[in-house]
Amino acid sequence: MIINIPFKDLTKEAKKAIADKSLTHLSIDYADNAVFGWMGDVEIVVYQFTEFKIDNRNHGYEIYGKEYGLTIEII
């Protein structure tokens, strides 16, 4: 499954971190149903899922991109 999240839908903090090229270590937190990343030594919410519940107990994932949004590949 491929999930595309456009740049315009990311949080304000994530957009700033991407512009500063300081967003690193993207990951999905299934308990919070969100994508998190690190801006320096501060963890930020990059995207909060509201359309569906992310549950990846039986699969892995890869997160690509940043400048134009995120692409999440559930594998």
For residue range 14-36, what is the model confidence (pLDDT) as tens digits? 999 999 899 999 999 888 999 99
Instruction: Give the number of domains in the chain.
Output: 1
Give mean pLDDT, residues 56-67.
81
pLDDT over threshold 90, residue 47: yes
pLDDT, residue 56, reads 62
Contact 35, 47 (CB under 8 A): yes
User: For residue 39, what are the β-bridge partners?
Assistant: 23, 42
Question: 72, 41 in Cβ contact below 8 A?
Answer: no
Q: Which domain holds residue 49?
A: 2-74
Residue (of 4, 63, 69, 68) closest to 28 by Cα position: 63
Q: Please tell me the pTM assigned to this model.
A: 0.87
